[in-house]
Structure 1
Amino acid sequence: MITFLFSIITMVVVLVVSFMLYDKFSRTAEENAYLNIQQIIEQVNSNLETYVKGMQDIYKVVEDQFDGKRTDNNSSLRGQLTTLLETREDLVSIALFTLKGEPVINVPAQQMMNNTRLTSQSWFETSVRNPYELSISAPHIQNLYQGQYKWVVSMSRVITYRAYGETKKGVLMVDINFRTIEELSSQVSLGKKGYAYITDSVGNIVYHPQQQLIYAGLKYENMEPALKYNFGNYTDMSTGEERYITVRSVEPIGWKIVGVSYPAEIVTTKRDLGEFLIWFIAAVLAFVIIISIFVSAKIAQPILRLEKSVKQVERGDFSSPVDVKGFVEVERVSYRFNLMVQQIGELMEQIILEQEAKRKSELDVLQAQINPHFLYNTLNSVIRLAERGQNEEVVKTIASLSKLFRISLAKGNNIITVRDELEHVRNYLIIQNIRYKNKFQFVIRADEEVLHCLTLKLILQPLVENAIIHGLEEQYDPGLITIQASLVNETVRFTISDNGLGMSPEKLNGILLGESEGGKGSGVGVKNVNERIRLAYGQRFGLHYQSEREEGTTVTVKIPAVWNQPDSDRRRTS
């Protein structure tokens, strides 16, 4: 039996630990994979932004070449542009056109094609429409010059230039070989199936590793969600397979880099980890079972001998001592068992008294507890008040806390006067009202004759605390707590009412059973208050709750009227 239980426990522990390790490692692997994907896209985005910034700087250098210089028969200007073009392999051509599309100067000097419809091309129209902004076109085939059909990106803007003694406006265009952008994008590796593509701000594909399939209609990219993001991640199921999409924007041109990865590849890694853990668990369990059989046999033999000796005691033979040899632990059990048999008579007589004393002791300990959370919040409130310079509120809070502790201690007495109990709860309400920034008001009323009666201490604070936490804390309207102490037919009656949210019938039925008490509170719960009253005064006394939703809650506390001795003598004299 020991071998079986030991094996079962070991198997459960190994399985739980293995599951936790699998869950931790798999989640870590998945998070690292997604983080790696995001970092790759961020790097490509950074590289593209750096390249675009460099191209804008090149355009500015070209533009500066026209500043104040003649363009008609200016061989020096043409030479400077040619030199600039030759220093950058990714520059294809530089050209200046009039607003009517007539060429002014172009480098290299090549024959232009007929019917280019230059003024209808998108880069020209965008520059004329937004003359002060640098326009960067989508990739297109250059069709301006004979013999050149390169895949380029055109940068253009309206500039002023001088020709034949006049200042004119024209469109300066610089064509950049798209190959560099393509090389930056094609280096992305997002697993075996993953890839990245680029779109412009309106959804036109700038670059795609399978661009021919896209144009042929053999591949589909769901770009609508990606256009809604400037920076973000989401999951796409448009192709029937789960895909993890990462979107970053290339500033300042508004292009978007879209990374596409497949979580199924991450699942494969998790599957490999799962298979390894299965083999590992099987090996560990086999080893543990072999060891447990050996160890259990060594443990079980002396325990069986001890069991035989114990059966003699069961039959009433208390005179025969138990003497079992074996492990040190078994010998100690044998020795302790002999001591137990000698003392069993006394323990049987004392057990009832001890249980009752234990219960009272536990209740006294609960009563004396001061919640560290309450103390921490109170001192924290004092610090904030002091920082704001509200010295009067600081003095008021500390004075109330001091009085609250003084009455709680009560020189070790468990019984105090009703006056002190009401003073205790008043100081508690002052502290809580400061903490909750005057969220509620409170009123305490008491008949003069009831103030001299005696009561268990700390029975009102838990009830007031319950009213604040479960009644007033979550409501928006100002709260009101009313405490009334009166003497009715030789019975002291406390009534605590609030205008809070109230409680449902289920919560109301369970509150005296302790089922509604949560983690917040003073440690002296409603159930404990009810038990203390009934233990001290009998089952006739205790708590009674009434509550209506959105109306509030009223709790009535009834205890017998017992006067302090000097007050009792004065009462009889009068």
Structure 2
Amino acid sequence: MLRVRTGLQSFAWNSIGAIIMLSFSAFIVLVITIMSMLLYDKFAQTAERSAELSTKQIVDQVSYNLEDYVRSMSHLYRAIEEHMLRDGTWEGEQVDKQLDTLLSSREDILSITLLDSDGRLLKNRPAAALKPSAHVTQQGWFQSALRVPDHLSFSLPHIQNMYEGPYRWVVSMSKGITVQRNGQEQQVILLVDINFKQMDELSRRVSLGQRGYVYIIDESAGNIVYHPQQQLMYMGLRSENIEQALVATGSYEDEADGQKRLNTVKSVPNIGWKIVGVAYLDEMLTTRQEVGGYMVRVLAVVLVLAVLVSLMLSASLTRPIRRMERKMKAVERGDFNVELPIEGPLEVERVSRRFNLMVHKVRTLMDEIIREQEQKRRLELEALQAQINPHFLYNTLNSVVRMVGMSRNEEVVTMITSLSRLFRISLSKGKTIITVKEELEHAHHYLTIQQMRFKRKFRFTLNADDDTLDCLTLKLLLQPLIENAIVHGIEYDMDEGHIEVRVYREADCLVYRITDNGVGMSEEQLRALAQGYPMARSGAGSGVAVRNVHDRIRLYYGHAYGLEYASELEEGTTVWIRIPVQRAPEEGGAQDDQKKTMA
């Protein structure tokens, strides 16, 4: 190891401090590069926001112009209604003069027409006969006026075809009006044809760069109302992304003919139109591109130097650190059988030694904890299982003595046989886990004994799905719950009791359902039972043994499993036991054990 001694201090060339000193100049270059990129990104974002705001302001101006124009046309309709159609009298020279004055003062209005609901001409200025081929009642503006009366409707641009004369592009505004004529209500249609050039002028007054433009679409049908290249649109030589503009709000970007565009959408109230402003990003961000090119050229040399220095540093510093990182991730995943090689810079060697020592100590402690936890868990399970009602044997033997004294020999044989099989399953050669079939057999013998003790005060049924019989379960889960159903539920009921045990699968859970028709429990007793507090005799499922069953299940299978209760006073109680579905590794061996138990 090469070391240089200066005064009282020792300096190692392979230390991290030396590496940091040698790479300080490269670090400066890196900082300058990062700062330049951040500034460039900030400038680009500011330029984009400015362009977006400018486009939005222009589109808002077009929208305001259209709204202002619509307001003026609404005032025009209101004036005609109030002064010319108020009394249902539209004949006479006075009305003609008023309409002629209106037409002469508004260059944008080409014609004013009044029709009845059957499409017959009532009044028009300039005065002209309707063309027989006009089919007025089939026109969209006519149907809109009848369908939505007292609402100003706007048509799409079209050729005026109602009168003889030059063909001009117009936008038809129509409104259904109810007037009083000769004491009766009459529905009339007021139609005003507007020169399409007015819409064109309102939209051409804006400027969105050299190639940007504004177009208008109909929100209801998605048709083009106005486009600066309207003829090309009708000929199919030009298209727009109408679908995206209909659903968009605010601004969005798209691409047309290989060029990115910024689209800004604005809805025009009371018309049902949308204004779409299209600006080309390459025009708006010319300054950004120029600055970007300049920065790239200036930083080219700096970046080359940074790359060279990074290659040099990766060989001496990055490799051992990354190796250490991989080992640490392995420890995070629980693999404590890892060891770092002692190599690399001086500080890395020291850290590697400390890391190896730490992993060794953690591994030793983990092994000790696992052994202690396994022993503790086994002792807790044995202690909980030992608490399952030991006085049951005493009560059963007392019943046998009484039956012998009463010469009820057949019942004595039945009870002793059930008792022997009950305890044979309870012992299970010291096993904690048995099959569902064995657990149900244990419950059957227990219920038989209790049924005889209580003089057949209740009846019982045991049902299990076929696919559950060979599943594994903790033993002695059913007995405490059945005992509670008898002692706290059915014993105090005057009617005949019924206990049903049902076993079935529910997704990945094995479910025991124990139901009785006893006295039931109140809501307070249910809450106390769920919180683990022992209760008085008046509630089903209130014993300490039931709590032990819940604790055994959670201790063995986890907190996701255990007991659930439902009860109503004078109706009965239902208890569900949920444990995970598990099967014996060797089905044949499990079945042999079951056969031996049943023998």
The TM tier, using the shorter chain, reads 0.3 to 0.5
For normalisation by structure 1, the TM-score amounts to 0.46
For normalisation by structure 2, the TM-score amounts to 0.44
Q: Which one has the largest radius of gyration?
A: 2
